[in-house]
Amino acid sequence: MIDIHTLTVERLAGMIDHTFLKPFGGVANIEKLCAEARRYNLIEAGATRLGTSAGVKIVEEFMQRNGMTN
């Protein structure tokens, strides 16, 4: 059971499953996922996942353009 009185944003972010499972979603969709993950701090929480390795290069380039480290 979750105690909402002690629930932090970071803990909640760690509970969110933020995924992109389509094998051919296109650059725009993968970059949108990255932007959402950055906005809601899901990357540091480890909650963002790609369903395939096809978008890894896109994610890497997005992170570099936006001053994010991996």
The DSSP line for 49-69 is: EESSGGGHHHHHHHHHHTT--
**AA letter at 64:** Q
Query: What's the chain's average pLDDT?
Result: 77
Residue 27 is predicted with a pLDDT of 86
Q: pLDDT above 70 covers what percent of the chain?
A: 77
The DSSP line for 12-57 is: HHHH--EEE--TT--HHHHHHHHHHHHHTTHHHHT-EEESSGGGHH
What pLDDT band is residue 44 in, cutting at 50, 70 and 90?
A: low
pTM for this structure? Answer: 0.62
The predicted-structure confidence for 3-26, as pLDDT tens digits, reads as follows 888 888 777 777 777 777 777 778
- List b or e across 40-56, with b for residues whose CB sees 16 or more CB atoms inside 10 angstroms: bebbebebbebeeeebe
pLDDT surpasses 80 at 69: no
